[in-house]
């Protein structure tokens, strides 16, 4: 069940796109620690004149550590009433380790669950997943570790305890992967096909890989890849299929023996002490490289170092100009976006609560409000 929270205020807020949201977060100045959020209710609306259409409605609950413990999704029924569509509960143990989650549908029926089991070293040793949509279908995975804490064995089984996949790993005491063995089934129209992969790696005394051999079998087909390395770079790569050579890669190297015999080495260059220069910020790295500028972005900052104006050019033509405005706390208050090609204007307005969390954002296109979100917070009481 979802505990009802007393409504204090409703707020409007729109997220235009990921870039805008990233700008909003990055532009905020660091301040005192914010109050910890207990619940966050989020509603998204499309606006058409005086009519608003709810597109999305979620409610997220956090524990005191900021971890999500409950997430509910709502929808409108035929009578335009808000009803629960899906609810996910997430649980942690006293040590803060994730121990499982449960998903319920609109009828409060459990449709999926996951459970984690740990050993005395807080290592996951078993993962159990159950799908209840039709008949309960259970699958579980068993994990084993070496003395360094690396997972060396992972086995997955179905509800009839039939093994469906396996992963084995063998590591050197210095951490390098020596061998790997994986197998699982690939679904096909007729029947599942088993796919197995074996990898064997060899290293030199410095821990650099010198050879890697991979054997792959998929149904009746067998593939073999042999790679040789020098200074961790591939110098030879041979591929086989069913025992037949299908490709051989070898980097091209020049024979310099004849060239070196044609001249004597010049005398050593006297030691020179050239002053070091650190004015790269004033240099154009493309100045001496043939190139054609297609898109450029110029940003002007205010006295606080926050972006104030952003100009985008495409083929030396201005295509977009954005102006940024901030409140006294340095939080982004509005953006005005001028699309020069389309001759349209967007304005995004932001408002915040006393804890400096975003509570309102509106999007206007050519002066008309088109989209808005509603966001409501409940906070943990601070001591």
Name the least confident of 256-265, 315-324, 331-340. Answer: 256-265
For residue 281, give the DSSP letter. G
pLDDT digits (tens, 9 = 90+) for 59-86: 999 999 999 999 999 988 888 888 999 9
The number of helices, as runs of H, and strands, as runs of E, in the chain is: 2, 23
What would you report as the CA-atom Rg of the chain, rounded to the nearest whole angstrom?
31
Is 370 or 13 the better-scoring residue by pLDDT?
A: 370
pLDDT the model gives residue 48: 87
d(CA 85, CA 106): 4
Of 218, 149, 210, 146, the residue nearest 182 (C-alpha): 218
pLDDT digits (tens, 9 = 90+) for 127-156: 999 999 877 899 999 999 999 999 999 999
d(CA 213, CA 199): 6
d(CA 57, CA 88): 14
For 84-100, what is the mean pLDDT?
94
For 252-258, what is the mean pLDDT?
56
d(CA 279, CA 180): 49
For the record, the structure tokens of 367 come out as 């002066």
pLDDT the model gives residue 257: 54
pLDDT digits (tens, 9 = 90+) for 266-297: 555 555 555 555 555 556 666 666 777 889 99
pLDDT the model gives residue 29: 47
| Domain ranges for the chain | 172-251
**Does pLDDT of 263 surpass 60?**
no
pLDDT digits (tens, 9 = 90+) for 193-239: 999 999 999 999 989 999 999 999 998 899 999 999 988 888 899 99
Collapsed DSSP state (helix, strand, coil) of residue 282: helix
Collapsed DSSP state (helix, strand, coil) of residue 258: helix
Q: Strands 98-105 and 82-92, how do they pair?
A: antiparallel
Cβ atoms of 9 and 379 within 8 Å: the answer is no
For 321-350, what is the mean pLDDT?
94
Q: Phi and psi for 48 in degrees, rounded to 5?
A: -135, 95
Is 331 or 279 the better-scoring residue by pLDDT?
A: 331
Name the least confident of 3-17, 27-41, 128-142, 321-335. Answer: 3-17
For the record, the structure tokens of 264 come out as 């004597």
pLDDT bin (cut points 50, 70, 90) of residue 33 is low
Mean pLDDT value across the chain = 84
Is 329 or 293 the better-scoring residue by pLDDT?
A: 329
Cβ atoms of 352 and 362 within 8 Å: the answer is no
For 22-32, what is the mean pLDDT?
48
Name the least confident of 65-74, 279-288, 304-313, 366-375. Answer: 279-288
């Amino acid at each position: 069940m979802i505990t009802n929270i007393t409504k204090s205020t409703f707020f409007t807020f729109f997220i235009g796109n990921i870039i805008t949201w990233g700008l909003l977060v990055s532009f905020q100045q660091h301040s005192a620690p914010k109050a910890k959020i207990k619940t966050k209710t989020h509603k998204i609306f499309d606006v058409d004149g005086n009519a608003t259409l709810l597109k999305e409605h979620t409610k997220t609950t956090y524990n005191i550590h900021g971890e999500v413990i409950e997430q509910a999704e709502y929808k409108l029924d035929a009578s335009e009433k808000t009803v629960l569509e899906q609810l996910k509960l997430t649980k942690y143990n006293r040590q803060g380790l994730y121990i499982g989650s449960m998903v319920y549908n609109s009828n409060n029926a459990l449709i999926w669950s996951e459970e984690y089991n740990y050993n005395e070293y807080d290592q996951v040793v078993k993962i159990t997943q159950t799908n209840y949509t039709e008949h309960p279908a259970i699958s579980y995975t068993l994990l084993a570790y070496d003395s360094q804490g690396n997972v060396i064995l992972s086995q997955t089984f179905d509800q009839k305890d039939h093994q469906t996949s396996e992963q084995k790993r063998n590591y050197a005491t210095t951490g390098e992967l020596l061998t790997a063995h994986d197998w699982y089934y690939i679904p096909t129209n007729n029947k599942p096909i088993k796919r197995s992969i074996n990898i064997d790696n060899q290293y030199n005394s410095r821990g650099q890989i010198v050879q890697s051999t991979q054997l792959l079998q998929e149904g009746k087909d067998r593939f073999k890849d042999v790679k040789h390395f020098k200074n961790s770079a591939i110098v030879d790569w041979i591929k086989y299929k069913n025992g037949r050579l299908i490709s051989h890669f070898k980097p091209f190297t020049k024979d310099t023996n004849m060239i070196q015999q044609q001249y004597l080495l010049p005398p050593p260059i006297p030691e020179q002490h050239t002053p070091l220069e650190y004015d790269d910020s004033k240099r154009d790295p493309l100045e001496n490289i043939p190139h054609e500028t297609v898109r450029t972005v110029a940003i002007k900052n205010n006295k606080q170092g926050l972006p104030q104006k952003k100009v985008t050019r495409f083929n030396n033509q201005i295509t977009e100009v954005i102006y940024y405005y901030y409140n006294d706390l340095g939080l982004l208050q509005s953006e005005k976006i001028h699309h020069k090609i389309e001759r349209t204007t967007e304005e995004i307005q932001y408002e915040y609560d006393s804890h400096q969390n975003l509570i309102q954002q509106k999007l206007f296109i050519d002066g008309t409000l088109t989209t808005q979100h509603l966001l409501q917070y409940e906070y943990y009481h601070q001591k």
